[in-house]
């Protein structure tokens, strides 16, 4: 018996639960593409002398969608979902701070650096999302270790 079953109808989460790791993996890959586009946009704006950088809307929307999917994955698979959500929230928070750092760099006329912490968080989220989505390919090797 699930303690949340009386508050939230969870039947639809069970129906889509097996597809959530693949959706998260696909969105993490697309997030990497939008991350690159956002960095190019910030660099271009800073080179043009624009001190007020703007957030890249597709990238921000993908970050929010990833956090929501991660929370849904928690309802379907508690252990894997908690790890995935922790990584996605880390990536989300790192993006917030990296955006603020890019604004400071643009305001002070410094060179725009790559968002290193957000890229590291993205890499960890990518690896874990790939592990969750394609576990059946990793399972024979994993069983040798564990």
- What is the tens place of the pLDDT at every residue in 85-143? 999 999 999 999 999 999 888 888 888 899 999 999 999 999 999 999 999 888 888 88
- pTM for this structure? 0.87
Has residue 14 been placed in a domain? no
**Band of pLDDT at residue 9, cut at 50, 70 and 90:** low
Burial of 101 (0-12, 13-18, 19+ CB in 10 A): middle
Q: Could you give the percent of the chain with pLDDT greater than 90?
A: 58
Has residue 88 been placed in a domain? yes
72, 13 in Cβ contact below 8 A?
A: yes
Has residue 11 been placed in a domain? no
Tell me, what's the pLDDT at 10?
65
Q: What length does the chain have?
A: 146
Has residue 81 been placed in a domain? yes
Q: In the chain, how many domains are there?
A: 1
The kind and range of the H/E element at 17 are none
CA distance 106 to 44: 11
Output the six-digit token pair for 43: 């660099």
Domain that includes residue 134, residue range? 21-145
Has residue 117 been placed in a domain? yes
Has residue 41 been placed in a domain? yes
Has residue 4 been placed in a domain? no
Longest dimension (CA), the chain: 59
Has residue 98 been placed in a domain? yes
Q: Which residues contact 97 (CB under 8 A, 6 or more apart)?
A: 117
Rg (CA), the chain: 18
pLDDT at 37 over 80: yes
Dihedrals φ, ψ of 26, to 5°?
-60, -45
């Amino acid at each position: 018996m699930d303690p949340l079953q009386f508050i939230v109808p969870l039947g639809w989460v069970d129906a889509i639960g097996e597809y959530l790791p693949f959706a998260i993996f696909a969105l993490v890959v697309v997030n990497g593409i939008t991350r690159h586009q956002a960095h190019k946009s910030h660099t271009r704006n800073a080179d043009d002398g624009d001190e007020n950088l703007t957030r890249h809307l597709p990238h921000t929307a993908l970050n929010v969608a990833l956090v929501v999917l991660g929370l849904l994955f928690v309802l379907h698979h508690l252990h894997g979902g908690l790890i995935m959500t922790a990584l996605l929230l880390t990536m989300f928070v790192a993006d917030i701070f990296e955006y603020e750092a890019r604004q400071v760099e643009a305001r002070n006329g410094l060179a725009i650096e790559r968002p290193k912490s957000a890229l590291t968080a993205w890499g960890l989220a990518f690896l874990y999302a790939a592990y969750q989505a394609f576990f059946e390919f990793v399972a024979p090797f994993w069983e040798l270790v564990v």
